[in-house]
Chains A and B, each alone.
Chain A
Amino acid sequence: MTTTRRKLMSLIGQGVIPPEQVPLAVKVAELHPSPHAWALLIDRLLLWLGSLALACAVLFFVAFNWSDMGRLPRFALVQAALVLAAGVAVWGSTSVMLFRVALTAAFLLIGVLLALVGQVYQTGADPWQLFFIWALLTLPLVWIARFDPLWVAWLGLLNLSVWLYSSTWGGILGSVFFTDNAGLWGLALINLVAQTLWEWGVQRRKWSGRWAICLLALGSGVPLTLLMMAWVSGETHSLTPIVAIYPVWLAVLYGVYRQWRLELFMLAGGCVSVIAVVIWLLARYVLWESQWSEGSFLLLAGAVFAMGAAAVAWLKRLNAEEAL
């Protein structure tokens, strides 16, 4: 997507707009917000910062674990704040922004309540359980809020709980599959599923939030790349699921974001992943597994040059193609 800013920059760069008329061109292009937009921003900023500061105040208070205050008043405080947030969401549901702010505060307060339960009753639960139950309980709330940042926060909770679970217990499917680096597999899987669903929603249901899809792509691409690099540096190159999955992931990434819908961010991410894996592979064979010579470094530098330059040239060509 080419923004007005980039189009204007292109015109200035090509010398289409005379230098002395650039300030006027900037004004005409309406890059700068109107007084109406400023008023809206100030209104929203005050609402968001104020509400989140209040929700965080409750969180910090519970974390302080004040012994002078009994358990019941503490529960009453958090629950009252939760009821207040829910009340504002219902009462103020005519204003979309107020509705979303209230539900975001409620989302945070449910986590605070769960943490308070753990603090007061010393349940002995693992940390992953807190985040997982938090995610489970807030799913309906996130669903009705229809607010991209809240979905991203919810997926962040899910990522965190899967990572913590894997760090404690290892793989989900027992000893047959995915036992090594179970956490990375978990993150890749969750974010791939979420990315696919969100992409489907954007195409079929007119959902918004391309930035969130890019974030999810990072959430799946980074673990997959690390898994592939772990395979490359393994003692033997035995056949493991990543050997099959990584090329398929790359092919799908190319097919979807080059052929079906041009998305340079995804393609750039794929390029970085390939460069990292190939350089890691080369480094293994020319540096730490052979009688390396000075030329090995030169070979690696050359390989990075070639791949980096090819990737950038390709992306720039696609960028120009997109702007046509």
Chain B
Amino acid sequence: MSQPRSTLTQRLTRAGISLNETSSTTPLESPWFVRVLQAFSGWLAALFLLGFIATAVVFVLESTGASLIAGSLLIGGAFALLCAARSDVLEHMALAFSLAGQLLVAWPAVEMWGVSATLWWGLLALQCAMALIMPSQVHRSMSAFLASLALTLALATNGLAPVAIGLVVLVLTLLWLNEYRWPRHIGAVQAWGAGLLVGLLVLQGLAYANQFNWIYDSDALWLGPWLASWLGTALVALALVSVIHQAFCQHSQPAIAQRLAIYVAVALVAVVTVYVPGLGAGVSVLLLGFAIGHRPLMGSGVLLLLMAISSYYYWLDVTLLVKSLMLLAMGAFLLIIRWILKHWLLNRWLTVHKPAPLGDANEQ
């Protein structure tokens, strides 16, 4: 295992990068499933902690002021713990304290505003603040995840759930595309991106199960459903354009005709997405993962596409016959495009660009 590490440093040195000596023993970044385990136990512990507060010091929950004070103290304690030491035990404890504190802060808000858009906007602000200030990767991911849920619920109240999902796709795309832009904050950017990715998977699942309908308030409708759907799709298309733009920047700029053809393809994906919900998000995340060499992102893109096609079967807006004809047209179109591209562009690309030695992140 030491061989690839030294190979990478040798390659970096050969490229003229002056590597610093470090006495730091910063461990390797934990794999995602270790962070999931950490978050899982943090959540569970927080729930029990809240159970303790609810039974032992029930007056805290009965009084708005006491609940806010206790919640703020717990959040403050979590922040102090995370700043003081970075051991796993303390990180766990801080995570549970913070979650219990957030629930205590949210409790008076629920009593005051009920289940309304104001409540969700308030919780969104709280989660954004947590994602920004808490010095822990797991905490940042969890706050970003909860923020994506709060944003969607806030907008879903006004019938704008598709716009919220489009926004989440766009923000997570921009975060991942700029992960190396601020080297000192690389961990935070990746943590937010990971949280939003999990949020997107959950949100799409909820959208397919029509779980936003219960919150929908028809008296406070901001836009017509069709406009909300188009707006959400436009945001996803913007994310797709950002990914393609990044890919152009990484390599030689293509001719204007080729660039135009690609943007027309993006517009087509957007139009089809309105009639096959979820397709654009799947394609965007898949291409994003490929563009930055991130396998879990690519896998999530494939998962989103599979979810989209299986939920399309149950989509009630059009009949199965219309869906069948749409899929037929789409399939034939994609295969014809492939045939044309293969003869016009791809074969030339494949021969002109000799296979470069790929990094292991790009192995297919």
Contact = CB atoms under 8 A, between A and B. Distances in A.
Interface of A: 2-19, 21-26, 28-43, 45-47, 49-54, 56-58, 60-61, 63-64, 66, 211, 264-265, 268-269, 271-272, 275, 279, 294-295, 297-298, 300-301, 304-305, 307-309, 311-313, 315-316, 319-320, 322-324
Interface of B: 1-2, 4-5, 8-9, 11-12, 15-22, 24, 26-31, 33-34, 36-38, 40-42, 44-46, 48-49, 51-52, 55-56, 87-89, 91-93, 96, 180, 183-184, 186-187, 190, 247, 250-252, 286-287, 290-295, 299, 305, 309, 313, 319-321, 323-325, 327-328, 330-335, 337-338, 341-342, 345-346, 349-350, 353-362, 364
A50 B272 CA distance: 13
B358 A34 contact: yes
Contact of A14 (B26, B55, B361): B26
B324 A307 contact: no
A9 B36 CA distance: 19
A21 B13 CA distance: 11
Contacts of A312: 30, 34, 37-38, 41, 88, 92
Contacts of B358: 30, 33-34, 37
A323 B180 CA distance: 23
Contact of A25 (B12, B287, B330, B338): B12
A320 B334 contact: no
B79 to A, nearest CB: 18
Contacts of A295: 52, 56
Given A50-B334, A268-B33, A323 B1 contact: yes
Nearest to A37: B362
Contact of A5 (B38, B184, B293, B335): B293
A26 B12 CA distance: 9
Contact of B353 (A3, A18, A34, A53): A34
Given A61-B320, A304-B48, A32 B15 contact: no
Nearest to B52: A297
Contacts of A34: 251, 353, 355-356, 358, 362
A49 B305 CA distance: 10
Contact of A308 (B19, B45, B313, B362): B45
Given A12-B186, A57-B331, A304 B41 contact: yes
Nearest to B190: A9
B8 A7 contact: yes
B37 A268 contact: yes
